[in-house]
């Protein structure tokens, strides 16, 4: 995926393909740290939700006519808890309504307690080819401490079932910084995950999100592994996974070569996607928009004709340039001068000066191909570093450069160099 580079002149304009995201907002129970839009105890609305999704897909499809779809992602919530029959019906509808490419990556998020061999086999046969399993930890006490609905043993069984069902692209999610977790326990979870031989691993630091039961526990005095401990766990993980053959490709993501998540990469590469379901976001047709975070409101809005739009904005080119910095610097692909200037008409010099300073601190590096990217130590403080770069760009008053940049980069290549 990374490491290959064409010279700017040899880049053929590539038509952006489309990703589809389906949000399944149902869970067996709520985990203490979770602030995703997901609900426990609302299975009574699953059938109505299915009708709403199918109707929403049908009414949206004409807008995407002629655009190939190369990734589909069922996330949540817990898609596997929704039942394989509904999932297969949704995928069949997508195949019928959209221009789904042969070889498209089709991911299902699943929890170990809501999959079994028979269901996985049916899903695989229906076309799902990537499974992302919420393992989180190999330590029973850590899972219980945040009220995860499964045991480590169920994870092992789910992995075995997935392999038997011929899923050849398996991802495991892990969380570091869980209540009571020590470095040794974290290492044991990573080692256990490696022993299951997945193709992909996501490792997230636990965050105390507002309004969650975990936040209440912390306010009541519970002490969690602190930032320094989380940093130690993170840096150890990056090195360990690299040695195990899973190089890092994004702040929290690691994959065997060829197995980076194509769907998630499209978010970081600013490629278009359409989301369906309450709280789902889209970036399509130059607009970014999201649907209401309200299951009943979404179902009624779609089926009875009310509004389901929560937010909508047209994205000016300048903001796309900011997004490019923010999102690309999350990846090891990083940013590059020509790419930035030609796509967003902004001057790279103020950024490069600052990146040189980050490099002196060990937070950034410039690759042989001339791309700037953050190091693992830089990823640890990526929010501050990226915020600093955006501020530099703002202060540089790049607007003055816009006319010149436009002329320089909008000139057709076969008309010779700019005078």
Question: Interface residues with ligand SF4 (CB under 6 A)?
Answer: 27, 30-31, 34, 36, 38, 76-78, 111, 134
CB of 133 to ligand SF4, least distance (A): 11
Q: Which is nearer to ligand SF4, 30 or 187 (CB)?
A: 30
Strand partners, 366: 372
Q: Which residues pair with 105 in a beta bridge?
A: 71
CB of 22 to ligand SF4, least distance (A): 14
- Which is nearer to ligand SF4, 174 or 346 (by Cβ)? 174
Q: Return the closest-CA partner of residue 169 out of 130, 114, 206, 226.
A: 130
Q: What are the distances in angstroms from CA 374 to CA 13, 35, 85, 207, 294?
A: 27, 28, 43, 21, 37
Cross-strand pairs, 33? none
Nearer to ligand SF4, 27 or 54 (CB): 27
Measured from the CB of residue 276, what is the shortest distance to ligand SF4 in angstroms?
Answer: 17
User: Which residues contact residue 202 at a Cβ distance below 8 angstroms, ignoring those fewer than 6 apart?
Assistant: 132, 171, 172, 173, 174, 252, 253, 254
Minimum separation from the CB atom of position 39 to ligand SF4 (A): 9
Residue nearest to ligand SF4 (CB): 34
153 vs 287 by CB, closer to ligand SF4: 153
Q: Which CB, 205 or 378, lies closer to ligand SF4?
A: 205
Kind plus residue range of the DSSP H or E element containing 354: helix 349-360
Residue pair 273/266 in contact (Cβ under 8 Å)? The answer is: yes
176 or 345: CB nearest ligand SF4: 176
Tell the smallest beta-carbon distance from residue 162 to ligand SF4 (Å): 17
Judged by DSSP in three states, 196 sits in: coil
Tell me the two tokens of residue 301: 């809005």
Minimum separation from the CB atom of position 178 to ligand SF4 (A) = 12
Whichever of 107 and 331 has its CB closer to ligand SF4, that residue is 107
Task: Find the DSSP H helices in 8-130.
Answer: 46-60, 84-97, 117-126
Least Å from the CB of residue 290 to ligand SF4: 17
CB 17 within 8 A of CB 101: yes
Contact indicator for 141, 148 with CB cutoff of 8 Å: no
Q: What is the distance between the alpha carbons of residues 404 and 368, in angstroms, rounded to a whole number?
A: 29
Nearest to ligand SF4 of 30, 122 (CB atom): 30
Nearest to 131 by CA among 20, 259, 295: 259
């Amino acid at each position: 995926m990374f490491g290959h580079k064409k010279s700017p002149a040899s880049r053929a304009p590539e038509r952006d393909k489309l990703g589809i995201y389906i949000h399944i907002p149902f869970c067996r129970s709520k985990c203490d740290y979770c602030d995703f839009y997901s609900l426990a105890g609302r299975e009574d609305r699953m059938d109505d939700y299915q009708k709403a999704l199918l109707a929403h897909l049908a009414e949206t499809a004409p807008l995407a006519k002629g655009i190939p779809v190369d990734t589909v992602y069922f996330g949540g919530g817990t898609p596997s808890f929704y039942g394989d029959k509904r999932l297969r019906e949704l995928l069949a509808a997508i195949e019928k309504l959209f221009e789904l490419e042969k070889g498209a990556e089709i991911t299902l998020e699943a929890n170990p307690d809501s999959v079994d061999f028979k269901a996985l086999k049916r899903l695989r046969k229906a076309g799902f080819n990537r499974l992302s399993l919420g393992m989180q930890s190999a330590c029973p006490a850590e899972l219980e401490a945040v009220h995860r609905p499964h045991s480590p043993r169920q994870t092992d069984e789910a992995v075995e079932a997935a392999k038997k069902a011929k899923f050849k692209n398996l991802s495991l999610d892990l969380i570091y910084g869980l209540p009571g977790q020590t470095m040794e326990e974290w290492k044991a979870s990573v080692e256990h995950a490696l022993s299951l031989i997945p193709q992909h691993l996501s490792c997230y630091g636990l965050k105390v999100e507002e309004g969650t039961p975990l936040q209440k526990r912390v306010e009541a005095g519970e002490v969690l592994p602190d930032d320094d401990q989380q940093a130690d766990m993170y840096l150890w993980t990056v090195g360990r996974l690299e040695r195990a053959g899973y190089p890092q490709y994004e702040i929290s993501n690691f994959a065997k070569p060829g197995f980076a998540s194509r769907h998630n990469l499209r978010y970081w590469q600013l490629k278009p996607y359409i989301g369906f379901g309450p709280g789902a976001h889209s970036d399509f047709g130059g607009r970014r928009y999201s649907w209401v975070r309200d299951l009943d409101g979404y179902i009624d809005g779609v089926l009875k004709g009310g509004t389901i739009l929560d937010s909508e904005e047209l994205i000016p080119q300048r903001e796309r340039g900011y997004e490019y910095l923010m999102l690309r610097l999350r990846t090891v692909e990083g940013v590059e001068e020509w790419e930035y200037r030609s796509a967003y008409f902004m001057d790279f010099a103020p950024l490069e000066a600052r990146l040189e300073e980050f490099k002196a601190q060990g937070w950034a590096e410039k690759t042989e191909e001339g791309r700037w990217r953050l190091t693992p130590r830089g990823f640890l403080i990526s929010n501050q570093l990226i915020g600093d770069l955006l501020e530099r760009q703002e202060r540089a008053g790049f607007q003055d450069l816009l006319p010149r940049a436009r002329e320089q980069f909008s000139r057709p290549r076969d008309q010779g160099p700019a005078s």
